[in-house]
A = this chain, B = another copy of it.
């Protein structure tokens, strides 16, 4: 069995309370002498705090549970976790991630996590979507990350897709582009919202889109679906109103646009500008020319989520849209 406070107390000739105060109670008043002695003995015996014991006393363990809809594997999901983890660490909390695989109900996964009496629980979606949280869970899940909770009973943190699209369009406009096409990701929430922002920003400038086209044939975007990008680019270039900028649904799509433009003998950004969403660094920074793209606020969502969870004052539930951030490279 591991060393306990009473082992240290015995060895130091003081009470357990004194040991507890010396090791953990930063503010507990006692002679520096005693404190030093206790710490030395603890170190010598290799004492490791028993958080389970502290937890049963306090009613909670220094954990924040994160239930995610699938294994955390994409770079985006990793960023969310990074954000959560950084903020948790500063607060002395650890992140306990459990994934909600297809077989189970959200409720059963949340209960599983609750058995450990975490300080708080978050739900994180792997991509921006709508999620219905069962009403019974509104009390136990403190914040929804990367998804919109329908009932409005719990605070949701999502990327400001519409704002991000507006921003990149304005940037294209500021660079002098006027005929802008959008090869968008179809069938997903992010795509629909970005299209709204795209159209709004053009309208604001008194312009019309040159074309809003789906990157793939299937109604739901997937990297596996057969791509329409190359043929769209050809169509756009053949038309009377040839675009001077193409906005892409993500960096992968942009890569295909690059290839199609190269085939057509067009120079980026001189003949035509290309911009997109995602900022997959490995990809975007290595394209030639490096790609200007809107980075998603994944890390910020993670950080803010943790701050909300650990804040003393609970705020009324709301939907919070976090801003994208423009990564300027050389494609515009």
User: Which A204-234 residues have C-beta < 8 A from chain B?
Assistant: 223-224
Report copies per complex: 2
Which chain A residues in 68-100 approach chain B with CB under 8 Å?
71-73, 75, 78, 81-82, 85, 94, 96-99
Segment at the B interface, from A55-63, A160-168, A172-180 = A55-63
In the complex, A2 has a CB within 8 A of chain B: yes
Q: Is the C-beta of A288 less than 8 angstroms from some C-beta in chain B?
A: no
Q: How far is the CB of A122 from chain B (nearest CB, A)?
A: 16
Q: How many angstroms between the C-alpha atoms of A63 and B262 in the bound complex?
A: 54
Known A-B contacts A50-B56, A52-B55; A61 and B2 likewise in contact (beta carbons under 8 Å): no
The total of chain A residues at the interface (CB under 8 A) is 37
Q: Is the CB of B94 within 8 A of A49?
A: no
Interface 1/0 per residue, A25-60 and B, CB below 8 Å: 000000000000000000000001111110110011
A48 proximity list for chain B (CB < 8 A): 111, 114-115
List chain B residues, Cβ under 8 A from A53.
56
Partner of A82, one of B49, B51, B61, B71: B71
* Nearest CB of chain B from residue A84's CB, rounded to whole Å: 12
Query: Does A127 count as interface, using CB distance less than 8 angstroms?
Result: no
A282: interface (CB < 8 Å): yes
Report the minimal beta-carbon distance from A3 to chain B, rounded to whole angstroms: 11
Q: Is A117 an interface residue (CB 8 A)?
A: yes
Q: Closest B residue to A63 by CB, please name it.
A: B116
Partner of A116, one of B51, B59, B81: B51
CB contacts (< 8 Å) of A223 on chain B: these are 282
Nearest Cβ on chain B to A78's Cβ, whole angstroms? 5
B78 engages A116 (CB within 8 Å): no
Q: Are B50 and A117 in contact (CB under 8 A)?
A: yes
> Once bound together, how far apart are the Cα atoms of A51 and B2, in whole Å?
19
Partner of A78, one of B49, B71, B81: B71
Query: 13 other contacts beyond A48-B111, A51-B116, A52-B55, with CB at 8 A cut-off?
Result: A1-B59, A2-B59, A2-B117, A48-B115, A49-B115, A50-B115, A51-B117, A52-B116, A63-B116, A71-B81, A73-B73, A94-B112, A94-B116
CB pairs A–B below 8 angstroms (21 shown): A1-B59, A2-B59, A48-B111, A48-B115, A50-B56, A50-B115, A51-B115, A51-B116, A52-B60, A52-B61, A52-B117, A71-B81, A73-B73, A73-B78, A94-B96, A94-B98, A94-B112, A96-B96, A97-B97, A224-B282, A224-B286
